[in-house]
Amino acid sequence: MNETLNAAIENTVAQLRQRLGARAPRIAVLLGSGWHPFAEQVEDRIDIPYAELPAFPALAVGGHSAVLRSGRIGATEVLVLGGRKHAYETGEADGMKGAIRSLAGVGVQLLVQTNAAGSMDEAMPPGSLMLISDHLNVSQRSPLFGEPGDNRFVDMSNAYDPALRQSVKAVAQAQGTALHEGVYVWFMGPQFETPAEIRMFRNFGAQAVGMSTVPETIIARHAGMRVLALSLMTNMAAGMQDEKLSHAHTMATAAAASSRAVALLSAAVQALEI
C-alpha cells in the first residue's frame, strides 16, 4: 500500500479514536444520492468534516455533505458517511480506500451502502427500492490495483452478505415496503449509458445500473467487512422510456422517494446482527 496513504489512515484512525471516545460503532452507513435524510435520524451526533480526516477524500458531486456523523439510530451505534468519491471523477477506483480502511481500523465490521440507480426492469419503476444481491464490474477497474501480497485476491462469491439480506427482506415485509432484489451493474460514467449498453446489461442478467458502490464493496471485503447495499431507482435506464437523463433529474426523483427509502434503512440498521 502507498506509504502516504498508510500514514494518512493511521492518522485518521488515531483522530477518530480520540474524537469518538468510548463510542465504537460496528456499523457504517455510506449515503448515496437520495439517502442523505437518513443522517437526520441520527441522535447524539458527533460531526467530523471529511476535510479534517487525512484519509478521507474531497467530494465534488452535488448532494453529498462530506461529513462523517457518529451517533445512534435507536439503540444502534452507527457511523454515517455523507457521500463518496466516484471513480468517474479521476478515472481511478480507489477514492474511498483510505476512508473505508480507516473505518475498519476503528472496529467497523459492516458497511451498509446506498445509491441511486437506473432501473432496467419494467417491474421496478422510479421510486422502487432494490436490495443488491450481486454486481457486474463492467468497468473492469479495481481499487486493489497495485496492492502487494496474496490477500489482494479477494473472494467475491458472497460480496453482499446473504444473512444480512434476509434480515432486510424481513424488515421490509414487516413494514409492508416493496423491496426488489437483483444484480447491480457498475458503469464508470460520468456520461449516462447508451440504449445499446443497457440492452447488453439486461442480457447479462442485471436489473439496475449506476456509477458507484462496486469499488467500495471490493475495498470493504478486502478489509474483512461484511457488506449490504440498497439502490433507489431514480429513472428507467436509457432507451426504456422517452425521457432525458440528467443528474438534476436523478436528484429530483431521489428526493421525492427518499422518505420511504430512509424509513426502510433506519429500521434495517436497527435489526442487523453482526
Residue 197: active-site member: no
pLDDT of residue 1: 53
List the grid coordinates of 10: 493511521
Q: What is the pLDDT confidence band of residue 258, given thresholds at 50, 70 and 90?
A: confident
Over residues 135-144, the mean pLDDT reads 96
CB atoms within 10 A of CB 70: 23
Q: Is 50 a catalytic residue?
A: no
List, as one string, the DSSP characters of 250-264. Answer: HHHHHHHHHHHHHHH
| Catalytic pick among 8, 28, 33, 119 | 33
Q: Would residue 235 show up in a list of annotated catalytic residues for this protein? A: yes
Q: What is the pLDDT of residue 118?
A: 95
Q: Which residue in the list 128, 212, 258, 266 is annotated as catalytic?
A: 212
**Residue that is written with C-alpha cell 483522530 in the block:** 15
Where in the chain are the domains? 3-271
Question: Is residue 211 annotated as part of the catalytic site, yes or no?
Answer: yes
Give the chain's radius of gyration (CA, Å): 18
Say whether the peptide bond before residue 190 is cis (omega within 30 degrees of 0).
yes
Cell of 236: 428507467
pLDDT: is 246 or 131 the higher one? 131
Catalytic status, residue 88: yes
> How far, in Å, CA of 52 to CA of 190, rounded?
27
Res. 135 pLDDT band, cuts 50 70 90: very high
Distance (Å, rounded) from C-alpha 105 to C-alpha 100?
9
> Is residue 80 within 8 Å of residue 29, measured between CB atoms?
yes
**pLDDT of amino acid 62:** 63
Q: Is 36 a catalytic residue?
A: no
- Check pLDDT > 70 for residue 249: no
Residue tagged active-site, from 39, 66, 87, 116: 116
Q: Is the distance from CB of 51 to CB of 59 less than 8 angstroms?
A: no
pLDDT tens per residue across span 20-78: 987 889 999 999 988 999 999 999 999 999 999 999 999 877 666 899 999 999 999 99
For residue 103, what pLDDT band results from cuts at 50, 70 and 90? Answer: very high
The CATH architecture assigned to 3-271 reads: 3-Layer(aba) Sandwich (3.40)
Please identify which of the residues 50, 88, 160, 184 carries the catalytic annotation: 88
Q: Which of 77, 137, 240, 247 is catalytic?
A: 247
86 is catalytic: yes
